[in-house]
Amino acid sequence: MNHLAHVFLAPDSPEARVGSILGDFTRGVEVSALPGLVQLGIRHHRAVDSYTDQHPEVLASKAVFSRDRRRFAGVALDILYDHYLLRHWQRFSQTDRDIFIDRIYTELQCYEHLMPEKMARVTRRMVEHDWFGAYRDLTSIGYALDRVAGRIRFANRFTGMIEEIRTNDQELESRFLSFFPDLQSFAGDIE
């Protein structure tokens, strides 16, 4: 799962939502020194990722990608799932999508003191460039994936992955719509 899905599924507190993103930035962080709700968010993040990685619909979605790109399918799906979540927001939430995103951006700014510097830099860019809003558009997903590809330090075929996503959009979306309610139910039971 990517950042939007993590904060969407996180326990309902600003600190836990910060922790749900911090789960991607724990290298070098003394997690036990963080406030309890931030630690809860980190544990939640890890449980959501573990559940996602083993779900049959996610595994079937990864298999849709060509052999050359399958190695990166999990990364692509993480970002794509934020797009599908935004596309089908009303199926999963009674909260207005734009109000939710604005609240998350405000929380990320207000709780920056809980973040390691690397995460703070990323969340500042996230807010400044409205990453969550941009994920409404599949073309923006393609740009995001290409940026990720540019950071990979070895030769790869990840660039242009959006073309395979476009070709298989209906199947990937259908599998997401089957998977995400299961994930939402699982996430609600994490303690």
Answer yes or no: is 191 within a domain.
no
Average pLDDT of the chain? Answer: 92
Residue 163 forms part of a structural domain: yes
Residue 23 lies in a domain: yes
3-state secondary structure the chain: CCHHHHHHHCCCCHHHHHHHHHCCCCCCCCHHHCCHHHHHHHHHHHHHHHHHHHCHHHHHHHHCCCCCCHHHHHHHHHHHHHHHHHHCHHHHCCCCHHHHHHHHHHHHHHCHHHCCHHHHHHHHHHHHCCHHHHCCCHHHHHHHHHHHHHHCCCCCCCCCCHHHHHHCHHHHHHHHHHHHHHHHHHHHHCC
Average pLDDT over residues 49-73: 92
* 190 is a domain residue: no
The tens digit of pLDDT for each residue in 81-127 reads: 999 999 999 999 999 999 999 999 999 999 999 999 999 999 999 99
In a domain, 66, yes or no: yes
Enclosing domain of residue 52? 3-185
The answer to whether residue 167 sits within a structural domain is yes
Cβ(22)–Cβ(161) under 8 Å?
no
Report how many domains make up the chain: 1
- Within-domain flag for 11: yes
Query: What pLDDT is recorded for position 158?
Result: 61
pLDDT for position 106: 97
Inside any domain, residue 151: yes
Nearest in space to 189 (alpha carbons), one of 36, 59, 47, 84: 47
Closest CA to 113 of 171, 34, 57: 34
